[in-house]
Amino acid sequence: MKNFFLLWGLMFGMALSDVISAAEVVGNVRFVSGGLMAQRVDGTAKVMGAKADVQLGDMLVTASDSYAQVVMNDGTKMILRPNSNLKIEGYQFNQQDPKSDSAIFRLLKGGFRTVTGLIGKRGNPDAYKLRSSGATIGIRGTDFTSRLCGATDCLDEALKTPAKKITPAPKAVGRVMQIQGEMSAKDVSGKVRKLTLGSPVFEGDTLQAAAQSNGVVMFRDGGRITLQQNSDFVVEAFKYDKNNAGQDNIALRLLKGGVRVVTGLIGHVNHDNYKFRLSGATIGIRGTGFDAWCNGPCADGSANFGATQENPLAGAGVFVWSGEVALMSATGSVNVSVNQAAIISRETGNAVQVNSLPDSIKNNPVPKPDSVSGDAESTFEEVPRNGEAGVYVSVHEGQVILENGGSRLDLGQNESGFTDGAVTTRLSDTPQFLLRDNKLDQIGKSSMFNSGINSNGCLVAP
């Protein structure tokens, strides 16, 4: 530690402090364990302790075996790991002017963990950026860890440190390919997260599209859905292994509203392993494109969830535009071919064909899911990395957009990405060196690392 401070003293001891101009304070140091220095824009160096001001343009440098927590004016909280250099290149925050928000950080060495504050959560969603080794990381309301690995440091760390036992994070079973308006996902614990372009969808998620909103989701087997406005849709089960097709199964349920569906490999190969339900009815799949709806008594959960011939959309039903399905109720089923529709009859409870199709069924204005470009193999491609030189990002919550040159990678909760300047890719597993820093975890889990934003979206004093 003495060598660390001596080095900085030799480098900057001759700087002229009398020419220092007043610099903008953009945050403060909350916690230091070990050594933390700030190289100022005027060339001076300052030893930083708890409560020290952080200024615009500062290069924050941690010594070996040292950690520091910095809190920015917007409530963003960062923990720097040992041997890290982080520069505050740009920062603008005005509580009364969200549109002017801007935060640009540059990671030159080491790594850190961040929980973002107000910047990026209000005004411009692209206002918060991290730059490192040619890559730009766009941050959108996120808790993430980033690490810049040199030629050998992360590889050496991976070899020297025993593997940390962790429960594997769930893999995304789907991904948002197109979105208009507002969509969200509620996981099995009841926690709700906002969906954006590229967001992952997990088994057990309930997807919700708001008024005047819709979105296309692609699944790992190549199947797709377009969720229509004011709709709730559950991914009840999804198991897919392209190398072991016999174990595949999928169960989807429309709770209310409407959805357009194109089946993937599971629906084409294992018909009986593909289940689509709406209230008490089931749609049997035979490699198909169809629209399903669940409105009125169906959306209300009524025992009699059927529709009428006069108003077939006011209940449970299906319209086929490719292939064939069977609409099944407790009392029987009816086959439905291209350009045909069927409903559960409100009078009898039977599945019956619709006698006369209204234009609202035949001419659905919402885009078909297969109208959006993209393929499952590239969308869900994952590769292993464990310390090769480059930038690593692991998302604990929220969304990160990793860009390098013309490559763009959207990362959501429990996902990790990597770029070395030539390749930008999603990782099959989060590297151990991002997972097993017990000190970083301890600080990150403490109450002082909670975001400085209250439930009303306002900044609170520390």
d(CA 344, CA 363): 21
d(CA 271, CA 285): 6
135, 139, 142, 148 alpha-carbon torsion, rounded to 10°: 20
What is the structure's pLDDT at 455?
A: 42
Contacts of 108 (CB under 8 A, 6+ apart): 59, 85, 86, 87, 132, 148
d(CA 162, CA 158): 8
Mean pLDDT by 10 residues, the chain (462 residues): 51 41 86 96 96 98 96 95 97 92 96 92 88 89 91 84 72 96 96 92 98 98 97 97 81 98 90 92 91 97 96 98 96 95 97 96 96 91 89 92 87 92 90 75 54 47 48
**Structural domains of the chain sorted by starting position, each given as residue range(s) with its CATH number in brackets:** 24-168+382-449 (2.60.120.1440), 174-371 (2.60.120.1440)
DSSP H helices in 170-303:
265-269, 297-300
What is the structure's pLDDT at 436?
A: 63
What is the structure's pLDDT at 402?
A: 92
> Residue for token digits 């889990």?
445
d(CA 430, CA 171): 12
d(CA 181, CA 176): 13
The set of long-range contacts for 449-456, using a CB threshold of 8 Å and a minimum separation of 24, is: 449/69, 449/77, 449/79, 449/115, 450/77, 450/115, 451/75, 451/77, 451/115, 451/116, 451/117, 452/71, 452/75, 452/76, 452/77, 452/117, 453/75, 453/117, 453/118, 453/121
Q: How far is CA 259 from the centre of its chain?
A: 22
Strand 416-419 and strand 183-186: pairing? Answer: unpaired
The identity of residue 198, as a single letter, is G
What is the structure's pLDDT at 122?
A: 85
Model confidence over 211-260: pLDDT tens digits?
999 999 999 999 999 999 999 999 999 999 887 767 789 999 999 999 99
The strand pairing partners of 334, in sequence order, are 327
Alpha carbon separation from 77 to 32, 74, 242, 414 (Å, rounded): 13, 9, 41, 20
Model confidence over 124-166: pLDDT tens digits?
888 999 999 889 999 887 899 999 999 898 888 877 766 666 7
Two structure tokens written together for 415: 């996902």
d(CA 35, CA 22): 25
Q: Are the C-beta atoms of residues 413 and 396 closer than 8 Å to each other?
A: yes
Model confidence over 192-208: pLDDT tens digits?
999 999 999 999 999 99
